[in-house]
Amino acid sequence: MSETDKRSLHKNAVILRALEVTEIEFGAFKLEYVNINMTPSRALVSLIQGQLFNTFIGPNNTAWEKEVFTIKVPIRLGLLSYRLLLTRQSQASLFANINTLEDLTQLNAGLQYDWLTTEVYKANKMKVTTAHKFESLFEMLKQSRFDYIPRAVYEIYDELNNPNTDLTHIIIEPTLALYLPMATYVYVSPQNARLAQRLEIGLHKLMATGEIKSILDEYYAEDIRRANLKSRKIITINNPYDDTNDIVKYKDLWREY
């Protein structure tokens, strides 16, 4: 993920503000950004060691909670839970009669092999074709290897319009959205207990003042507006790997856009 990618910018802004609002309690800080692409499994190993980086932001994962500090403040307010679908323009009619999860299971999704979303799909016995590299999914979709790629509301528009990716004849399916409950948490290396304490206090402060949402809006409000979730049929997918109710209160937050 590029340092100029708004997902990175949003994450960096949240961490920076959490550190800034805790300077009175914890003192000055030095923040360095590490821009490295790695699989979730490799990221977990690196985080446990705490040498390459000591903080990571990603989807709620009960397996990670056993290994590292997990700060259960949903920094995207549940926005990751909402997915839109990339599909081929010629196949748009496939979705005309998709109204339920059972209907959706008849179609094949393209996902990266090590995503938590992939595990969720498999747990729900949904059809999945996987790729080892994220970029490969777009070419596989164009080649009709599967029917759609589910992407988060805040990702899909940038990906569709990425000048470095040829997505001619690929569209965002206009009628559906998926609701797959998934919070976005800050994880901290077990080697850095004081940092975990500081970030937890800081993030709770940002949540209490509403600044968490202000930061999110700065980067994602336009994507949320374009998604127009209130006009779409929402299909709910159970996430057996998410054991928190932290994001339930935000389930309908996006209807205000």
What residues have CB less than 8 Å from 180, skipping those under 6 apart?
81, 83, 117, 120, 150, 236, 237, 239
Q: Does position 3 have pLDDT exceeding 60, yes or no?
A: no
Q: Does position 105 have pLDDT exceeding 70, yes or no?
A: yes
Q: Does position 91 have pLDDT exceeding 80, yes or no?
A: yes
| Residue whose pair of structure tokens reads 């004849």 in the numeric block | 169
pTM of the full structure: 0.90
pLDDT at 162: 85
Q: How far apart are CA 257 and CA 224, in angstroms?
A: 7
pLDDT at 86: 97
Q: Does position 221 have pLDDT exceeding 60, yes or no?
A: yes
Q: How far apart are CA 184 and CA 241, in angstroms?
A: 13
Residue pair 128/155 in contact (Cβ under 8 Å)? The answer is: no
Residue pair 237/120 in contact (Cβ under 8 Å)? The answer is: yes
Cα torsion 117, 121, 123, 127 to 10°: value is -150
Q: How far apart are CA 68 and CA 86, in angstroms?
A: 34
Q: Does position 233 have pLDDT exceeding 60, yes or no?
A: yes
